[in-house]
Amino acid sequence: MKSIIWVISEIILVFVLLSMPGSEFSDPTSWIAMIMSLPFADKMIHVALFGSLAFSIFLHFELSLQPSFKTIRAKALALLFCVLYGIGMEYYQKYYVPSRGFEVKDMLADAIGALLALPLFNSIKYKLIK
Residues 85-94: pLDDT tens digits? 999 999 999 9
Residue type, 25: F
- Is it the case that residue 40 has pLDDT exceeding 70? yes
What is the average pLDDT across 9-33? 82
Judge whether residue 24 has pLDDT over 70. no
Higher pLDDT, 73 or 28: 73
Please determine, for residue 124, whether its predicted confidence score (pLDDT) is greater than 80.
yes
Predicted TM-score (pTM) of the model is 0.89
24 and 86 Cβ atoms separated by less than 8 Å: no
Query: pLDDT at residue 130 above 70?
Result: no
| Residue 37 backbone dihedrals phi, psi, to 5 degrees | -80, -10
Domain boundaries, the chain: 2-16+40-128
The DSSP string of the chain is -HHHHHHHHHHHHHHHHHTS-GGGGT-TTSHHHHHHTSTTHHHHHHHHHHHHHHHHHHHHHHH-S-GGGGSHHHHHHHHHHHHHHHHHHHHHHHHHSTT----HHHHHHHHHHHHHHHHHHHHHHHHH--
The reported pLDDT for the residue numbered 14 is 96
- Per-residue pLDDT tens digits for 65-82: 999 999 999 999 999 999
Mean pLDDT of 24-52: 81
